[in-house]
Amino acid sequence: MLMRAAPPPLGSVYQQVMDRLRGLTLLDAASALTLFLVVVFGFDAWWAKFVGYAAFLVFLLHPPSIKTWPFWACIAAASSLGLLAAWYAADNHKYLLAYWLWVITLAHAVKPESFQDKFLVSNARFFAVFIFLAAALQKFFSPTYMSGEMFETLLLLDERFRAFAQLAGIDAAIPDAAAKIVTLLKSPMSIVADNQLIFPSNDRVNFVAKLITWYDVYAQLAIGLLFLPGRRVTDLAGHCVLLFFIFTTYLPAPVFGFGWTLAIIGFVLAKDRFRHLPLAYLAAFVAILLYQAPWREWVLQI
Site for another protein, rule CB under 8 A: 86-93, 95-96, 99, 102-103, 106, 110, 115, 118-119, 122-123, 126-127, 130-131, 134-135, 138-139, 142, 144-145, 147-154, 157-158, 177, 180-182, 184-199, 201, 206, 209, 216, 253, 255, 258
Q: Which is nearer to another protein, 18 or 154 (CB)?
A: 154
260: which residues sit within 8 A by CB, 6+ positions away? 33, 36, 37, 40, 41, 285, 288
Q: CB of 90: closest distance to another protein in angstroms?
A: 6
Q: Which is nearer to another protein, 82 or 148 (CB)?
A: 148
Q: Which is nearer to another protein, 210 or 273 (CB)?
A: 210
Q: CB of 116: closest distance to another protein in angstroms?
A: 11
- H or E stretch including 207? helix 203-226
Whether the CA torsion 168, 156, 44, 268 is positive or negative: it is negative
Q: Which is nearer to another protein, 19 or 194 (CB)?
A: 194
Q: CB of 231: closest distance to another protein in angstroms?
A: 20
d(CA 175, CA 168): 13
Q: CB of 70: closest distance to another protein in angstroms?
A: 17
Burial 54-82 (b: 16+ CB within 10 A, else e): ebbeebeeeeeebeeeebbbbbbbbbbeb
d(CA 57, CA 43): 17
Whether the CA torsion 253, 258, 263, 269 is positive or negative: it is negative
Peptide bond before 112: cis, by omega within 30 degrees of 0? yes
Q: CB of 123: closest distance to another protein in angstroms?
A: 6
d(CA 144, CA 134): 17
Q: Which is nearer to another protein, 156 or 280 (CB)?
A: 156
Q: Which is nearer to another protein, 119 or 244 (CB)?
A: 119
Q: Which is nearer to another protein, 156 or 270 (CB)?
A: 156
Q: Which is nearer to another protein, 64 or 188 (CB)?
A: 188
Q: CB of 62: closest distance to another protein in angstroms?
A: 27
d(CA 175, CA 156): 4
Q: CB of 279: closest distance to another protein in angstroms?
A: 28
The answer to whether the CB of 255 falls within 8 A of the CB of 28 is: no
d(CA 66, CA 31): 7
3-state secondary structure of 166: helix
d(CA 81, CA 31): 21
Q: CB of 53: closest distance to another protein in angstroms?
A: 23
